[in-house]
Amino acid sequence: MSGARPVILFLCVHNAGRSQMAAAFTRRLGGDRVTVLTGGSAPAEGIHPEVAAAMREVGVDLEGVKPRRFAGSDIREADVVVTMGCKEACPVFPGKRYEEWKVVDPAGEPPARVRAVRDAIQDQVADLLISLGIPVK
């Protein structure tokens, strides 16, 4: 790991749904024991409204969060790179721990489906943190 606090990078295509949910849950569950980065290969203009609504239901406000394009420096800095649907658009750097999370893109999905994606991501985040030796709050 790069230091006392592992750096986790969440990548998806638009950086407006899955990766933002994962980042928010990592911050919530990992607190200051982890550094979180996100990015997309083709960032959207804003967070998907259905994602923001589902996250508000569990007390997470994504207001003001802006999707961004990932940079090579993000990947170099990361200890763990979690990809969610960006496939070949997300480069692979040797020596990094990569995880591909098979998570449905919640964009445009009905509320029940977005909630299911949200809950699955929260569970995967908790498992990831535990695997890094970080007890979840």
Q: What is the CATH number of the domain that holds 24?
A: 3.40.50.2300
Q: How many domains does the chain have?
A: 1
Per-residue pLDDT of the chain (137 residues; tens, 9 = 90+): 555 899 999 999 999 999 999 999 999 999 999 999 999 989 999 999 999 999 999 999 999 999 999 998 998 999 999 999 876 666 777 888 999 999 999 999 999 999 999 999 999 999 999 999 999 87
Whether residue 94 is contained in a domain is answered as: yes
Task: Give CA–CA dist 23/10, Å, rounded.
Answer: 7
Assigned token pair, 118:
């949200």
What residue type is 128 in one-letter code? L
For residue 94, the model assigns a pLDDT of: 81
Give domain status of residue 21, yes or no. yes
Any domain includes 47: yes
Q: Within a domain: residue 137?
A: no
Residue 34 domain-assigned? Answer: yes
Predicted local distance difference test score (pLDDT) of residue 88: 61
Predicted pLDDT of residue 3: 55
* Torsion sign (Cα): 11, 12, 16, 22: negative
Residue 95 counted as domain residue: yes
* 88 within domain boundaries: yes
**To 5 degrees, how large is the angle CA 70–CA 72–CA 78?**
85
Which domain does 81 fall in, by range?
Answer: 7-131
Distances 131 to 24, 46, 112 between C-alpha atoms, Å: 18, 31, 29
80 within some domain: yes
Residue in 23, 15, 7, 18 with CA at minimum distance from that of residue 73: 7
Contacts of 135 (CB under 8 A, 6+ apart): 129
Kindly report the pTM of this predicted structure.
Answer: 0.93
| Total Cβ atoms within 10 A of residue 92 | 10
